[in-house]
A and B are shown apart, each in its own frame.
Chain A
Amino acid sequence: DIQMTQSPSSLSASVGDRVTISCRASQSIGSYVSWFQQKPGKAPKLLIYAASSLSGVPSRFSGSGSGTDFTLTISSLQPEDFATYYCQQTHSSPYSFGQGTKVEIK
């Protein structure tokens, strides 16, 4: 199975900050990575698929990477962006997730 390792596990940031979250796959997975945002008590919400394609979310969100290293960037953090973020590989079954990164208010 492919393992997805996210870093950091949590971070503190202020409104307006640029935030970067990393995800590393245990083997090459092309560009088959999705990123999700989850708020307490809610289902994960798709932000980005195929590493860099936005799913109807604001353009301050962007994704990059291929092979084993991937990045989610929030260019200017907004109050509604404080949440937990997960990466997921969909290159091959079982489609595994990273352990999550909690973005907290500084």
Chain B
Amino acid sequence: QLQLQESGPGLVKPSQTLSLTCTVSHGSISNGVYYWTWIRQYPGKGLEWIGHIYYTGITSYHPSLKSRLTMSQDTSKNQFSLKVTSMTAADTAVYYCARGNPNSSGWGIYFDFWGQGAPVTVSS
């Protein structure tokens, strides 16, 4: 069964850049037509889709975060990554990586596999 595991620092200082990596096992990120996705959950429990990188390398980002985001993939390591610049306290959240699976209809996707989550606190 596909597994995803986030890794990265649990604490980031304000104005610094957050770097997270998701390692995928029991499946290849370069096979298939999946959207390798980042989602975060705020302390108040709200969930926010951050963006995804398609298996072709094409990215799509949340408009409100677009200027601060970079997503990439390393197929040799079966990993994909997220960078968020200019971090503030408002970015404190649990960051999840997930697989986006396209609907058979050809429109829409669903998120069927998730990592366990990486808590990130922004504080000096």
Contacts and interface: CB of A to CB of B under 8 A. Distances in A.
A46 B49 contact: no
A97 interface: yes
A70 interface: no
B82 to A, nearest CB: 15
A97 B39 CA distance: 11
| Interface residue tally on B, bucketed by range | 20 to 34
Given A97-B46, A97-B48, A32 B108 contact: yes
Given A43-B116, A46-B110, A50-B110, A99 B105 contact: no
Main secondary structure of the interface of A (DSSP, over half): loop
A16 interface: no
A99 B46 contact: yes
A43 B49 contact: no
Contact of B103 (A32, A45, A55, A93): A32
Interface residues of A, number: 25
Contact of B111 (A34, A93, A94, A100): A34
Contacts of A42: 116
Interface of A: 1, 30-32, 34, 42-46, 49-50, 55, 84, 86, 88, 90-91, 93-97, 99-100
Contacts of B96: 43-44
Interface string B60-92: 101110000000000000000000000000000
Contacts of B111: 34, 44, 46, 88
